[in-house]
Structure 1
């Protein structure tokens, strides 16, 4: 790998566009459904190992379009969240889930303390180190944007929201984007939906953005909207303009030119 794109740990995380010049850092924790061979199949059939319980389908492609549009670095997970969810602290029960949504994860049941600690060392620690190290290279705290996707139906209930703008105690970017939503999209947009801080999903924001005062937002995109390369590019293009405008409303200079996504 070059200095622009490199992998860290044992395939735990990857840095895209590491030389990006914008005052922005993109993060995609659930970018991959890859399970290294030594973990077998975790007792799951192929369809579940590629389903939403294993990663956020479409999220990495959207994040890559944003990275290109803004010329911003992107830190992405390189292994399935079923092994370790890098948007959770090690002590969280769902960091290594024994059950996800309605599905049992046999390969995660009954892990010893040593086995759990090994997962933390293998996946959590390299991801956090790469993210912290990339963030530390900025002269001033950048805008931190995390990119996720969610299912149209959860536990049998349809979800009306199409784009969620999530925040923790710093709501500057989320509220600025919400206030501008109608200018940029006709999709159904909501704050802290379909998840919020009470669900434990703002760990990356709490661990990396809040301590240094970095403006931040967590994007949740309904995954039926980003199921194809064309749709991913269209959503990426729309989000790029929306994020840039919201940052400007907050008096934040990203140094981004907002180039169209390919």
Structure 2
């Protein structure tokens, strides 16, 4: 029952949040875990905070990139390649969890016939404190679900920090590292498709809502909007090719994410050549 958990801590410029994050990892009531610390060439004082943990007995790897990858998914994969545990927890550097998080998550994974355990997730921020539950779309119907292809219209798990999953699922994810913005969504589809996911209400993960997430579309430029749309287009085209989803589902997905960026753009941005190119690609790729 005392299976090893590999805790992957990917960090980039979250020095202000690291003390709270690190405390919530190293003070877990479950003791059989290793910590893989990965910093993607932070330019704040993250390294000063992390350095004190370099020789901690729970830290199995301490890797500081000399060049920023610009890709959280590549950091995930680096962690997967190093992990020795039967279970994986991606402990994002600006989030936190209750001290019994791993203990309760491992209990669910050991006792239930599931591949992924997702803790109850509460939103918090510096201004608001804890202010409400984050409802993961995968549990819209029930608290125990099988993730099917037709659920790709949304990201099924909104905060990876809330999930602990079997490490053998990582080998199923083949292409997600080629996505810089939506790598988490692609990982879920590739690794968790047709797998059993259970909600665990006996412990809590905390998701920081600071407005600084790479996935938010607020206050972005045209280049970002374009990259965001084209990553979604690439993803759904691959899914359509491999999984034979319906044309209507494919078109619905393409239109959904084209409109998502269109509604965020200003009038002047919509008059640019970049937007025209994106619009032409949108129309060209409808079936």
Say yes or no: TM over 0.5: no
Q: TM-score, normalised by structure 1?
A: 0.26
Q: TM-score, normalised by structure 2?
A: 0.25
Structure showing greater radius of gyration is 2
Higher relative contact order (CA 8 A, sep 6+): 1
